[in-house]
Structure 1
Amino acid sequence: MGNTSSMLTQYDIEEVQEHCNNAFSQQEIVSLYHRFCQLDRSGGGFISGDEFLSVPEFAVNPLSERLLRMLDGLNFKEFVAFLAAFSSRTKMEQKIEFIFKVYDSDGNGKVTFDDVLNVMRDLTGSFMSEQQRQKVLMHVFEEAGYEKDSSLVLSDFTKILSNSGLKMEVEVPID
């Protein structure tokens, strides 16, 4: 599986399925493998940040810079595991863990008010003023029982988002 020019074996497919907690069917994994090979222009078995930016939907995503930190240098198995967060078969806890990693930009296991504010800046751009963003965020923190100087760990994040009706799904086209 290291070299993208090789084909996936049944064993490879099952191994990837297990690695991503069965978030994708075998047919979806084969389709994802074909897409991975298209993205891996160098043929080295890994996808670089620049190769990810060749996907128009990814390139225009306001969080693409944050996601690139998580994506750069992924092999196929890691690529599928990354995408598993967007599968309808993935449990909400795993989706929340993924989102937590996006917000935890320094990887210290904590999300601060400023971390969330930075993501809000990325998402809202010039559509909201800094004062509006801070006001909205303060309201969210207070509603959840936290203060501005709180540092949220994954369990806090889970508590806040578990009842939010979060939808985070993409469909994998089958070739």
Structure 2
Amino acid sequence: MGAAHSASEEVRELEGKTGFSSDQIEQLHRRFKQLSGDQPTIRKENFNNVPDLELNPIRSKIIRAFFDNRNLRKGPSGLADEIDFEDFLTIMSYFRPIDTTLDEEQVELSRKEKLRFLFHMYDSDSDGRITLEEYRNVVEELLSGNPHIEKESARSIADGAMMEAASMCVGQMEPDQVYEGITFDDFLKIWQGIDIETKMHVRFLNMETIALCH
């Protein structure tokens, strides 16, 4: 009885921390156990056999994001060697659909958290900035996974995205001014008006309500 009570207390605590329902936590726990091989933690190599990730053009970035201390809320830089179930839920909470019953301020905060996760995927050296070239490369990588877009077209779209980002973030620069890269505030400007819900999903979880950078 004590053990069951303790388990339910733990689930309630996780519900409060992550916003997932008890049913979602149970489903995610089953998926966690599959990924970890029934071990208490997941390591990077556990993602090697996930079919939906295998063909994703930014597979390495997605896997890295799961171990990024910034996303785990454990520090400003560095990567964890392994993650436990609570860490897993923390990462998955970024992909939870935005609750439309929240007030405007809370919706904006939720959207900002999702965008911060994406920003960290682009900002691989954790310096708080993304160079325009890095931004262009990631856009091209994302497009390369679309069978309907030819390589040259993907490159042209990526070039256009980089130029658009430059015009939004850099504006009118002085001749001797050097642009050091896209900050998170710049990133928010770039994504303003874009439906973030359609850009982030995690199919390999087999959960229709959660979806990963596609």
Q: If the length of structure 1 is used for normalisation, what is the TM-score?
A: 0.79
Q: Which residue of 2 aligns with 1:63?
A: 58
Q: State the alpha-carbon separation in 2 of the partners of residues 101 and 136 from structure 1.
A: 18
The answer on whether the counterparts of 1:28 and 1:173 sit within 8 Å (CA) in structure 2 is no
Q: Which residue of 1 aligns with 2:46?
A: 51
Determine which structure has more spread, i.e. the larger CA radius of gyration: 2
The answer on whether the counterparts of 2:129 and 2:180 sit within 8 Å (CA) in structure 1 is no
Q: Which residue of 2 aligns with 1:108?
A: 127
Q: Secondary structure at the residue paired with 1:45? A: coil
Q: What whole-Å deviation, never above 9, does each CA across 1:71-118 have from its counterpart, x for those lacking one?
A: 242211111111111111362111111111111111111111022122
Q: Which residue of 1 aligns with 2:106?
A: none
Aligned length: 163
Q: State the alpha-carbon separation in 2 of the partners of residues 15 and 93 from structure 1.
A: 24
Indicate how the Cα distance of structure 1 residues 9 and 99 shifts in structure 2: closer, same or farther if over 3 A, else same.
same
Q: State the alpha-carbon separation in 1 of the partners of residues 165 and 184 from structure 2.
A: 17
Q: State the alpha-carbon separation in 2 of the partners of residues 107 and 115 from structure 1.
A: 13
Of 157, 180, 184, which residue of structure 2 is paired with 1:154?
184
Q: Secondary structure at the residue paired with 1:83? A: helix
Indicate how the Cα distance of structure 1 residues 140 and 154 shifts in structure 2: closer, same or farther if over 3 A, else same.
closer
Q: State the alpha-carbon separation in 1 of the partners of residues 23 and 155 from structure 2.
A: 48
Question: Percent of counterpart pairs with the same letter?
Answer: 23
The answer on whether the counterparts of 1:88 and 1:169 sit within 8 Å (CA) in structure 2 is no
Indicate how the Cα distance of structure 1 residues 153 and 18 shifts in structure 2: closer, same or farther if over 3 A, else same.
farther
Mark the runs of 5 or more structure 1 residues left unpaired by the alignment. Answer: 1-7
Of 159, 162, 169, which residue of structure 2 is paired with 1:137?
162
Q: If the length of structure 2 is used for normalisation, what is the TM-score?
A: 0.66
Moved over 6 A (4+): none
> What is the RMSD of the two structures over their aligned residues, measured on CA atoms?
2.6
Matches within 5 A, 1:1-175: 9-20=7-18, 22=19, 24-41=20-37, 43-72=38-67, 73-89=82-98, 91-125=110-144, 127-129=150-152, 132=156, 133-142=158-167, 144-146=168-170, 149-167=179-197, 168-169=200-201, 172=207
Q: Which residue of 1 aligns with 2:70?
A: none
Q: State the alpha-carbon separation in 2 of the partners of residues 145 and 162 from structure 1.
A: 12
Structure having greater relative contact order (Cα 8 Å, sep ≥ 6): 1
Q: Secondary structure at the residue paired with 1:11? A: helix
Per mean C-alpha deviation after superposition, the further-off stretch among 60-69 and 164-173 is 164-173
The answer on whether the counterparts of 2:169 and 2:182 sit within 8 Å (CA) in structure 1 is no
